[in-house]
Structures are given as C-alpha cells and as structure tokens.
Structure 1
Amino acid sequence: MAEHLRGGVIGAGVFGGYHAAQYARLPGVVLSAVLDPHPDRAARVAVPLGGRAFHELAEFLDAVDVVTIASPATRHAEQALAAIAAGKSVYIEKPIAVSVADGEKIRAAAQARGVVVACGHQERVVFRAMGLLDVPQQPLLLEALRHGPASERSQDVSAILDLMVHDLDLALALSAGEPVTAEGEGRRGPRGAWDTARAEVSFDNGFTAIFETSRVAPERRRTMRVVYPSGEVEIDFVTRAFRNTTPFALNPDFADTPAAADPLGASVEGFLQAVRGEAPRPVVTAQEAIAALDLALAIEQALEDQGPRG
C-alpha cells in the first residue's frame, strides 16, 4: 500500500467540503480528487486543499485509493458500487442507501472485493467517548429528540432518513434486542416527504425506543434520555453535557476528548485505520448501517400506514 492514501470525495456540497478537509489534514492520506457534476463547484473544494476537480466518475476513480460518498442519498448505492467495483474502499455518508436491497448489494460487493465499507453515523463516536457503549446493563427505555431548522440539504429523502436515522443507529448500538414493531405519525412537507415524525419502536427484549424528529423546527435541539434498571442518563448533544444517575462511571469530560470534539474526523480516521489494517473494523460497518436503514424504512412504512397528513 502506498505511503499516503489518495482520498477522493464524491459531492462538493457542505458535507463534501467537510470530508475533503479531513483527507487534507489527517496523517497518511492526501486529498487527491473531488467529483461533482458541476466542475467549478468541485474545484472550489478541491484546489485549495491540493486536490483536482473531476466530473467523470471513471477518471476520478483512477485518481484515488479511498472514496467518501457525500452526494445525495439517492445516488449513494450506484456510486458506492462503482467505487467498490474499481477496488476502492468507501466511506458513505448516512444513510448507506435508500433501500435495504441496495445496502445489501454494497455489503456483498465489498466483501467479494475485500474492501472496507464505513458509514457516517458519527454520533457513535460521541457515545464511545462518553462510555455509554460500555455500560454493562440493558436499557429499558430510550427517548430521543432531534430537531433542526429548515434547510435545502438532504431534500431527496425524508427526515427519518436524514435526521432520525442517527438516533436509530444509537438505539440499535445500545440494545442487544431486535426491533419487532414500529408505530408512528408525522407530517409531510411541501415536497411530499416526511418533515416531522414521532415513532415508537418495541424490541424483543422489552426495550422501548421513542424518537421525535423535525427538520422544520425553529431551533436546533438534540437530546436523548436512556433509562436503565439502575438509573438514567440524559444527554444534550448540542451543549455536549449529560446527567447520569446510574452507578456506571461515564466520562464527564468527554466533550474535551479529541474524538468528541471532532466526531467526523474520528469516524474518517477509523475508516482509514480499517483500510490500512490497523483496526479490525470502521466505527460503523455496512451491516450496522443497513440495520439502521431497515428500521428507518419500517418507520416510514408505519407513517404511510397511519394515513396522509399535510
């Protein structure tokens, strides 16, 4: 393997710019290329960081060793499969795809080619820094709220696939059980996609998770409450503070750790370590991302079943 991996980013929007900056700053990798249908936009991201702009996928893939896919979610599967077919490991922003079938195609193709697939559920990094993933007790209840103001970003998918999917992944990471039922209600936006939603998911071990999401809220709010038999943990993801009444020692200074201060950087670095063989897996694997997607789509179906709301 080359001394420095050549990193490439598909998508020159806001998140593409964030990923390009990570490849430009992390050790052992350089930003080589940015692909976007608009060459001028790709150049604005790539050139200041030492990379080149591309608008043809085949030429872009020839110029890189690893690929981040930060394009609209509806393009994730086709672009990931093309990169994997070219022998490139891929980091895919969430959701991994917009159908479970496409997610499984990505996972199977990567396994066949022996390349790494990571997915950008970066809140896992924050949970790890807090110590929540090491709590030796199963939760009884989780309540998650994730609100954001209106934005033009990610309008190709619903708020469930855009925002709620983060909390779905965290619930799945905390619980050893499997989701068995999902109920929900929501409201559609002017483009027909679900902009607000509330869902309740029951797991086969008795765990219940309640999720509330809005991408048309007046302000940004991201909170979570996790109830255990021995106490509870309340988290504010915006202020990076928590209250813990359990007997388990969580890190009160987690927000000051390098990983929690830059979850995206820690997630991308974990991906690169897995590519180099320095870590057994990325922060979030393809299989875990597919599980979060599957639950998100089940919630979307539950919203469909409860009838249209404008």
Structure 2
Amino acid sequence: MTDVLKAGVAGAGVFGGYHANKYAETEGAELVAIYDHDIERAKERADKFGAKGFDNYDAFLAQVDVLTIATPATTHASLAAKAIAAGKHVLVEKPIAMTVDEADALIEAAEAKGVFIQVGHQERYVAAAFGLFDREVPQKVTSRRMNRYSPRAGDVSVVLDLMIHDLDLLAQLTGRSDADILRIESRKEKGDFADYVDVTLDIGGVQARLIASRLEDDPVRDLRMEYLDGQVHLDFLKREVANTTPEPVAADFSGDDLPLALKDPLGFGTESFLAAVRSGVSPAVPGQAGRRALAMALAIEEAIDA
C-alpha cells in the first residue's frame, strides 16, 4: 500500500461533494477522480479539487485505490459490485443495497477479493462518542429524523433514506435486529414512496418508536433513551444533551475541542475507512452492519405495503 491512497467519488451531486471535500481534507489521501453519468457535472466537481472527471466508470476505477459511492440508492449495489471486482476498497452510502440478496453478494465478493466495504451510517460515530453503546440496554427508545423535502432521494422511501440510520443505531443499542412491528403509520405526498413513516417496534423487549419524515418545515433530529434510573436525550440539531441518569455521558457538545466524531462525523468516517484500508482491520461499519439495517428497513417497507 502506498503512503498516499488515491481516492475517488462516484456521484457529483450534493452529497458526493461532501465526500469529495473529506478526501481532499484528509491526510494520506489524494482525491484524483470524480465519476458521474453527466460528464459536465463530473468535470465541474473535479476541477474544484484538481482532479479528473469521468463518465466512464471502468476508466474511473482504474485511477483509484479507494472510492466512495454517493449516487442514488438504486445504483449502490451495481457500482459497488464493479468496484469490488476491480479490487477497490469501497465506502458505500446507505443503504448498502436495495435487497438483502444484493447486500450478501457484496459482502461475499469483498471477502473473496480481499477488499473492505464500509457503509455510511455516520450517526453510529456520534452515538459511540457519547458512550451510548457502552451503557445498559435502554427500556425504551424514541427517535425523530424529520427534514424538509428534497428530491435528492426520491428514488426510495423515507425508511431507506432517513430512518435506516436509526435502525442501525437501534440494532447497536440492543445488540439485536429481530424486531416485531407493533404499529405503523405512513403517507406519501411527493412521489411513489412513503415520505412519512411512524413505526413502533419491539426488539428483544425494548420498545422503540421511530419517526422519519421529509415533509417538515422545521427539521428535528433527536434520540431519547429511557432507562430504569432516568433518560438520556440527544438533540443533534440544537447540539444539546439532557441526562437524568446517574451515569454521565462520555462526551457532550460543549467546549471548543470536540472529538472529530461529534464535530465532523462524515470526516471521522472517512478517516476510519482509510485507516481500515491501511491497517487491514475491519472498518467501523462493515458491510454486515449495513445489511442488518437494510433487512430491518425492508421489513418496515413490507409492512407499509401490506
């Protein structure tokens, strides 16, 4: 492995731009290529970093050691499969794929090829920084992930777009993924897929209510965990922590010297991915974690359609 990893980003949209910025800012990586089906958009994005734009994916892959896939969700599996076949390490944005079979195929292919696949569940790093995974399992969990509408992710429902982050957190908090759906409410307004979903789950005796929406005027993003001796409430937008339990949280939003996982989860994920590639140690959010969150999300989607 060379000292500097040549990095690329598939997808020249808004989120692809975020990932491109992180590679450009991260020591030990050189952003060399941007891929997009629209060559002008690829070149425009690449020019900002002194990189090269491509609309030929195979030619793009030939330039890089590692890449991030930040294209529409429906293309994640096919682009990741081609990258893995080419021997490239892949950071794929959530969801890892559109079906569990696709996710399994990617995981198996990466293992056979000896490359890593990491999934972009950035909220995992925030929760870990607060020490939430080191505490006892909560009795009750409530999450709200409610955003303004954007056509960016209109190819999937709000479950695969937003709620999947909270499903990953729930699986980590409880150590389980075998959830029973107790109640579900959904509606679609902007297209063919649900834009609002409110679901209550039982996961190993833990009751979890997850609300995801992309129809809001005033965004909300928070997480509440209730324990026998109190509760912890994280407001990610207001950057506030309320803790009524005797056990302190491991970090908070105060102070100027925030850990990178709180200050810049996307940057932390990029650094973690590159560190995994260099060290040969499994990434922080491996393909199996993405598959687990995907399976839970698809179960909710089936309940919506039932």
The answer, yes or no, to whether TM exceeds 0.5 is yes
Q: Which residue is 1:65 aligned to?
A: 65
> Which residue identity lines up with residue 290 of structure 1 in the other structure?
R
C-alpha separation in 2, matches of 1:177 and 1:259? 24
> What's the offset of the Cα at 1:40?
1.2
How many positions carry a matched residue from both structures? 302
CA contact (8 A) 1:91 1:120 kept: yes
> What's the offset of the Cα at 1:249?
2.1
Q: Which residue is 1:194 aligned to?
A: 194
> What's the offset of the Cα at 1:180?
3.2
Identical amino acids, percent of aligned pairs: 42
> What's the offset of the Cα at 1:284?
1.0
2:271 to 265, 269, 272: 269
CA contact (8 A) 1:185 1:197 kept: yes
> What's the offset of the Cα at 1:190?
3.6
CA contact (8 A) 2:77 2:103 kept: yes
C-alpha separation in 2, matches of 1:129 and 1:84? 30
Over residues 55-102 of structure 1, what are the superposed CA-to-partner deviations in whole Å (9 max), with x where a residue is unaligned?
A: 101100110000100000000000000000000010001111111111
CA contact (8 A) 2:129 2:251 kept: no
Over residues 277-296 of structure 1, what are the superposed CA-to-partner deviations in whole Å (9 max), with x where a residue is unaligned?
A: 16x32221110111111101
Q: Which residue is 1:148 aligned to?
A: 147
SS of match in other structure, 1:172: helix
SS of match in other structure, 2:142: strand
Q: Which residue is 2:173 aligned to?
A: 174
> Which residue identity lines up with residue 172 of structure 1 in the other structure?
A
Unaligned runs of 5+ in 1: 306-310
C-alpha separation in 2, matches of 1:173 and 1:227? 16
C-alpha separation in 2, matches of 1:228 and 1:158? 31
SS of match in other structure, 2:6: strand
SS of match in other structure, 1:194: coil
2:259 to 257, 260, 274: 257
> What's the offset of the Cα at 1:252?
4.5
Q: Normalization by structure 1: what TM-score?
A: 0.94
Measured on the aligned residues, the alpha-carbon RMSD in Å equals 1.2
Q: Normalization by structure 2: what TM-score?
A: 0.96
C-alpha separation in 2, matches of 1:127 and 1:171? 11
CA contact (8 A) 1:61 1:83 kept: yes
Over residues 34-61 of structure 1, what are the superposed CA-to-partner deviations in whole Å (9 max), with x where a residue is unaligned?
A: 0001111111211221210001011001
1:1-310 equivalences under 5 Å are 1-135=1-135, 137-182=136-181, 183-203=183-203, 205-254=204-253, 256-277=258-279, 280-305=281-306
Over residues 181-215 of structure 1, what are the superposed CA-to-partner deviations in whole Å (9 max), with x where a residue is unaligned?
A: 12412001242100001111111x31111101110
CA contact (8 A) 1:267 1:282 kept: no
Of 90-99 and 172-181, more deviation after overlay is shown by 172-181
Of 184-193 and 29-38, more deviation after overlay is shown by 184-193
> What's the offset of the Cα at 1:120?
0.6
C-alpha separation in 1, matches of 2:187 and 2:20? 35
